[in-house]
Amino acid sequence: MSQVILNKLVDDILDGNNLDAEQTFEDAISIKITDALNQRKADIAQSIYSPQDQEESEEQETEDEDE
């Protein structure tokens, strides 16, 4: 979580601005969820398209054709 967002959240809570604190919290959670989803997408894409997997796949196809 960004330090700026965290500071704003704490300030809103201490000032008694509950509605602002709620919105800041929701924004922070949204950012964390988006970041986590983007990282997971990148991990999946890399595992699908990694060169090592492609070589293993080609080797497997060659072995299947030889049989």
Residue-wise pLDDT tens digits, 5-41: 999 999 999 999 999 999 999 999 999 999 999 999 9
Closest to 28 measured CA to CA, from 51, 47, 9: 9
Q: Which two tokens stand for residue 65?
A: 């054709």
Residue 55 is predicted with a pLDDT of: 58
Q: Are 32 and 2 in contact (CB under 8 A)?
A: no
Residue 41 is predicted with a pLDDT of: 95
Q: Would the pLDDT of 58 be above 80? A: no
